[in-house]
Structures are given as structure tokens and as C-alpha cells.
Amino acid sequence: MKKTLVLLLLFAPCFLRAQTVKTFEGIDASQVLKPGFDIDPNGAVGTKQYMEWVDVAYQAYDKVTFAPVWSAPQPGSTPWKLNGMKDCYGFAGDGVILFDRLASRWVVAAHTIGSTGTYFYCVAISSTDDLSSTSLKWFTYEFLLNPFLGLNTQGHPYYPDWPKLGTWGDAYYLGFDLLDKDNGFLPIGVSACALDRTNMLVGGVANPMQCFSDPDPIPTVGTLFLSHSLIPADVEGTTAPPTGRHEYFVSIQNPPNDGKSTTSNLINLWDFHVDWVNPANSTFTNSQLTVPVYTPGCYNPNRVLSTVCIPEASTKNTGEFIDSVGDRMMPRLSYRNFGTYESFLISHTVQTSTNRNQQTGIRWYELRGAGVPTVKQSGTLLPGASMYRFMSSIAQDKTGFAAAGFSVSSAATHPGIRASHWSLRTTPAPKDVVLWSGSGDEENSSRWGDYDSMTVDPVDGCTFWYVNEYFATNQTGNAINWNTRIANFKLSTCH
């Protein structure tokens, strides 16, 4: 049975008079055929429903009643099975749910692992914005990734990991990491692709993907790539980017891998221009932006790919910590066109303590500019005396108020779900909202999913919707019993 909770939160009169937070249960492990530890909860709000992806399954919920659309979560491969597209039957996780606000259509996407070392990226576009409609059908596509993966010295293709998709006016844009499976899944580079959104929206034949890589060409002997995990811009609101506007990706710039460096003051900006008429004119260029100095969350200069340090209430007994995934930016790169200016928001987990305690908080950046965007402002959502914040996602409403959702945990607190919100125009101190308090720990794994998502209602332009995971009871032994919670709230400043 789905539980719904409504909280009325009172804030200082000078900021917000009152705010209603509504939460309800999303998918939990008991509803998934073969649940895993790494569940990647994410979703989006549309015109009529909220749609959630977890592990390798999805479900949708009515925006008003929160009633599920389907009697049970649907296997992630459902749209492709309905169309007999066998290359997309076996998903490897890393699913993404988007609502294309410019077209009022749902987008479901994930990658597969073929038994012969072939990899596909599978995308499904709904024919309607109403997932409960009897006329709903899916336009499904499979894109072979192998031509854009490169080969290592063993002749094996690099593994396409952590794919992220964004909606733009001229394409759907995809970024993914290139990992060397024969070298401990070492990240050796990235690829970025443009997908033919125009034809995909009507179920037409899609033009071939246009892809670029960094390094270019992809090496057979790769070294640790410190700028991995690209996040493509994804349109918030219903105002499209200006015609001809390039798409942008953002990624972290990790500290030098020299065994001693722990800080960086750079992030990467990737400019993708696609030309569907003459692909030879398409370009993909990288530049760097200077930002306030940061240490990636849970960073260890001697083990730079390990970002595990988040304590739970049970850690003192189990020795189990949670992975902060602090070595990368977190989706989404939320874009909103206000007419007089364009704004991009992105966030990631950083260390907030300078002593041996690796306490973490959330760093955020706003980029602006009609040409190549630059850093307008940034800040850090600090966790207080003992709480750790990690696994964030950020968006902004139509009035320029930002909200970031994230997980929290500490040596005295079970992992839970919170959010902070503030004005990007007047930048007052962020205000915290408790969205859900967990009552259990993950005692048998460090994997806490790799990402979540904050989105804004395309109808009112005000209501934030956020999904993340928690535990109702301790997960021990071989058990897998995670839960997810979906929350929405609207600030009184937005009408």
C-alpha cells in the first residue's frame, strides 16, 4: 500500500510564510523481479503524471492522487519488447526518465550489454503526454554504440558507463564514460552524441547518431581521465533555447592524480554544435571554468576512484560506509530560458571539513550567458556539525528560486532525504526542508545508487518534484530491501 504524507512547514515570515511538502512511496525492492544494490532512482514530472525509474523498472503516478498508473512497476525493457526490438531486451541499469517539456512527451532510455560485447543505447518516446491513455504507444530506437567506443589492447570495446541524456531544441544529447574492463574499469575518456530528436518524436527513421570523443582518437592504451561523467543540459520549463543555440555539457575536473593533490578549482564545459544537414560542420569543444576551490567528496589521493566515506548510524558496528560518488557532477544540468537571460544549474558533492573528518556538503554553480556561458555564482550547502550531504540534484522554478535535493546521513542518523532552496536573484541563505527520514541503514553494501533527480512541474512552473532512496529497516546479509520516496513542494514566492 502506498503511503502519503503531507507536512506544513513554517519558515521565517521575511522569507516564506508557509510551504506544503507532499511525499509518497515510489518503487521499492519488493516490487522488482531481481533488485540490485545500485538502484539509481530518478524520474521526471510531466503534465499529468510523475514517472520514476529504479534499477531496471519504471512506474508512473498520478500527479494529484499519487495512484500508480500500472498495477505493478513495468520492466524497463517493456517499450522495446512491445515493438519486438530484441537488442533492447537486456538492460544493464543506468536508466533515465525525462519529460521533453518542449514536445510534451515522455522519454525512457538505458543501455544494454550484449553477450557478444555489443552495446546499444535504447530510447523510447511516448506518443502522448498521458501515460494512462489507452492510445499510448512507444516509438522505440536502438543505437549501436560500438563504433564510438574504441578498442583496448585486448581488442575489447570500452564499456559505455553512466550514460546521461538531455533534451535540447535540436537533438537529444547523450554523454557516457569509456571504461577499460580489462584494467579495473579504469575511465579512459568520454563520448558525447547527438540523437535525431525531430524524427524520433514522430516515430520516423532517425538519422545516424553524431558522436565525438575525448581523447580523440580513442587510445588503445588509456590512462586515467580526470574529466569524466559528462552531464548534458536538459531544458526546464517550456521556453526553448534560442534557435541555433549550442548544447552544453558540464563535468568535474578532478585533482591531479599525483598521490598528494586533493583540491581543484576547475570544472569542464563542453560545447556541442550539431548540424544535421552537413554533419561535417558539427563540432565538440572543451574549455574550463574557474570556480572556488573544492575537494571532491570522500576524496582519497591514493585511491582516487574510491569515494566511500559516508557514515550511517550502524557504521560503528559494521564498518560499512556509503559511496558519495564525489568524483563527478550530478545530474541534472538544468537549463531555463528566462527570455532576458539563460541559466544553467549543476551540483556535486564536496568535502566541507579540513580535518581528518571527511564530512561532505553540496556545491552548486549557476552559469549564464547568451554565448558560451560563464560562472555567474556558486555556493556550498553546508551540512552542520555532523551531518553528511551527498548525491544531489538541482533545478529552478520560473521565478529564479533554486532547490537542490540530496541524501543525508551521519554516525548518529539513518540515511534520509532533504532539500535546500534559495533565490538565485537575491541569494539569501538556503533554507532546509526535511523530505523523509529513514529508519534503517544499508549494512551490506556501500552502493547508494549513483544519481537521483529534481525536476519542476511544466504546467505551473513552480512545483519541485524529487525522488531519492532510503531504508525503512536495516538491510543486512544478502537481503535487498531499499525503498524510494517521491516528494513535491512549492515555494510561496512562485505563482
- pLDDT tens, per residue, the chain with 495 residues: 455 555 444 333 334 433 689 999 999 999 998 899 989 999 999 999 999 999 899 999 999 999 999 999 999 999 999 999 999 998 878 999 999 999 999 999 999 987 678 999 999 999 999 999 999 999 999 999 999 999 999 999 999 999 999 999 999 999 999 999 999 999 999 999 999 999 999 999 999 999 999 999 999 999 999 999 999 999 999 999 999 999 999 999 999 999 999 999 999 999 999 999 999 999 999 999 999 999 999 999 999 999 999 999 999 999 999 999 999 999 999 999 999 999 999 999 999 986 667 999 999 999 999 999 999 999 999 988 899 999 999 999 999 999 999 999 999 999 999 999 999 999 889 999 999 999 999 999 999 989 999 999 999 999 999 999 999 999 999 999 999 999 999 999 899
Residues of 402-434 as b/e, b for ≥16 C-beta within 10 angstroms?
bbbbbbbbbeebbbbbbbbbbbbeeeeebbbbe
Return the CATH number at 276: 2.130.10
- In the chain, how many domains are there? 1
How far from 242 is each of 169, 341, 367, CA to CA, in Å? 8, 11, 16
Task: Indicate whether 194 belongs to any domain.
Answer: yes
Domain contains 494: no
Task: Tell me, yes or no, whether 471 lies in a domain.
Answer: yes
Answer yes or no: is 495 within a domain.
no
The answer to whether residue 36 is domain-embedded is yes
Give the strand order in the sheet containing 138-144.
96-100, 105-111, 120-126, 138-144
Burial class (CB in 10 A: 0-12, 13-18, 19+), 331: buried
Its pTM stands at 0.95
Q: Is 197 left (phi over 0), alpha (psi -120 to 50) or beta?
A: alpha
Q: What is the pLDDT of residue 485?
A: 98
Rounded distance between C-alpha atoms, residue 221 and residue 166, angstroms: 30
Domain contains 473: yes
Pairing of strands 264-273, 247-252: antiparallel
Cell numbers for 439, please give them.
529508519
**Under DSSP, is residue 415 helix (H, G, I), strand (E, B) or coil?**
strand
Helices (H) and strands (E) in the chain, counts: 3, 31
| Residue-range definition of the domain harbouring residue 316 | 4-489
Contact 139, 199 (CB under 8 A): no
97 domain-assigned: yes
Is residue 78 situated within a structural domain? yes
Task: Specify burial of residue 137 (Cβ count, 10 A radius: 0-12, 13-18, 19+).
Answer: middle
Report d(CA 272, CA 379) in Å as an integer.
27
First and final CA of the chain: distance in angstroms?
A: 33
